[in-house]
């Protein structure tokens, strides 16, 4: 099988898979909120409300497209596209399993193994802010503009500690490649701990996940779309599938963030204390490695829902203060300690 055909198949499969997870997450979000708040949740469209995402999709596709009279049409239309496309592209460098051998050909379970790994994710992810600010500005609505400005300031602020936390991982593993970092997490650390990034970078993990919540604009960092203050923020004036692109893009971002967390800090497809690849065939191990990775990602996807319906929203000054006066100094301290430890152990 030609390499280009394999690449196309992997791109199509991962796009469909990520989109399917994003659709399912709309149901998980509602059922999770209902569970935490002790209420039924969606239970009319299909058994346990499982067809609710399908009903939502039909509603969004069939609603009338309305553009506000005073909106700047080009910016208004480009906003959702510039937000959704980077979200779907970032997952290309996240490994979602080990490898499969078919007909003597080794196929890695990753769309593209580039040596700049999460730098690509940071670069692509930062483009999403253009979709937010254009959507807010193009709507010509004061609440939308305020939401876009809030999101821009928040994303720029939290990209700094996010990048510094990832820099410490580079110090530990000596590579930017997510696949190389995943492969390096096999075995044990200090003789009894899994050789996972969280045990080598506990502070870095905390910094990363807090900054990731802020980057995804999830509660308690959802000030760009705080309904109690600015209606729906930057997508107040959007409806139909333009609003759907913003909503799906948010869930796809959660899938990407969860995949990066698992690849960097939780051993990717590795199980602690056991090498399943030594007992399984090349095809079955590829499938099992994918399932292990997906189960870990599912845990963090659920954690996003859990936190959203548990913690209250921060004030905006608290969010900015946490980023600049809290996370950035801690991230610099983490880099210093990591570099010192590596220097002393060389």
Name residues of the chain where pLDDT drops below 70: 1-2, 227, 346
Torsion of CA 165, 169, 175, 177, to 10 degrees: -70
First to last CA, the chain: 44
The three-class DSSP label of residue 102 is strand
Exposure string over 193-214, b if 16+ CB within 10 A, otherwise e:
ebbbbbbbbeebbebbbbbbbb
**What are the CA-CA distances from residue 194 to residues 45, 181, 231, 262, 300 (Å)?**
43, 14, 46, 13, 19
Say if CB 27 and CB 53 are below 8 A apart: yes
Please give the pLDDT value at position 1: 56
**H or E segment at 189?**
strand 188-189
Query: How far apart (Å, rounded) are the C-alpha atoms in residues 258 and 255?
Result: 5
Please give the pLDDT value at position 269: 85
Q: Which residue has the tokens 């807010």?
A: 136
Query: How far apart (Å, rounded) are the C-alpha atoms in residues 304 and 308?
Result: 6
Q: pLDDT, tens digit, for every residue of 50-77?
A: 888 888 878 777 877 777 777 777 888 8
pTM for the full predicted model: 0.88
Say if CB 165 and CB 204 are below 8 A apart: yes
Name which of 194, 201, 209 is nearest 170 in CA terms: 201
Burial class (CB in 10 A: 0-12, 13-18, 19+), 61: exposed
Beta pairing partners, 99: 108
Beta-carbon neighbour count of residue 49 at 10 Å? Answer: 18
Query: How far apart (Å, rounded) are the C-alpha atoms in residues 213 and 208?
Result: 9
Please give the pLDDT value at position 262: 92
Exposure string over 231-247, b if 16+ CB within 10 A, otherwise e:
bbbbbbbbeebbbbbbb
């Amino acid at each position: 099988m030609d390499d280009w055909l394999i690449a196309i198949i992997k791109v199509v499969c991962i796009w469909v898979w990520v989109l399917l997870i994003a659709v399912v997450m709309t149901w998980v979000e509602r059922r999770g909120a209902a569970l935490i708040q002790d209420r039924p949740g969606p239970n009319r469209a299909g058994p346990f409300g499982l067809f609710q995402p399908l009903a939502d999709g039909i509603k969004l596709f069939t609603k009338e497209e309305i553009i506000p009279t005073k909106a700047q049409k080009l910016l208004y239309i480009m906003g959702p596209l510039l937000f959704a496309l980077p979200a779907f592209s970032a997952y290309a460098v996240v490994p979602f399993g080990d490898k499969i051998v078919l007909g003597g050909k080794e196929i890695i379970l990753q769309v593209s193994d580039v040596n700049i790994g999460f730098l690509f994710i940071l670069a692509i992810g930062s483009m999403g802010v253009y979709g937010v600010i254009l959507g807010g500005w193009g709507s010509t609505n004061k609440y939308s503009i305020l939401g876009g400005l809030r999101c821009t300031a928040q994303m720029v602020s939290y990209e700094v500690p996010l990048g510094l936390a990832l820099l410490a991982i580079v110090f530990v593993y000596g590579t930017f490649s997510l696949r190389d970092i995943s492969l390096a997490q096999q075995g044990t650390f200090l003789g009894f701990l899994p050789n996972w990034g969280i045990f080598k970078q506990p502070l870095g993990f905390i910094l990363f996940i807090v900054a990731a919540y802020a980057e995804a604009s999830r509660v308690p960092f959802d000030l760009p779309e705080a309904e109690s203050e600015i209606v729906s923020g930057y997508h107040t004036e959007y409806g139909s599938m333009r609003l759907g692109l913003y909503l799906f893009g948010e869930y796809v971002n959660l899938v990407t963030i969860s995949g990066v967390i698992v690849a960097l800090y939780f051993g990717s497809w590795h199980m602690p204390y056991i090498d399943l690849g030594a007992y399984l065939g090349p095809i079955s191990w590829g499938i099992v490695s994918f399932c292990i990775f997906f189960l870990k990602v599912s845990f963090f996807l659920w954690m996003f829902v859990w936190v959203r319906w548990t913690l209250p929203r921060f004030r905006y000054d608290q969010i900015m203060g946490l980023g600049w006066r809290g996370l950035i100094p801690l991230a610099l301290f983490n880099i210093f300690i990591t570099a010192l430890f590596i220097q002393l152990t060389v």
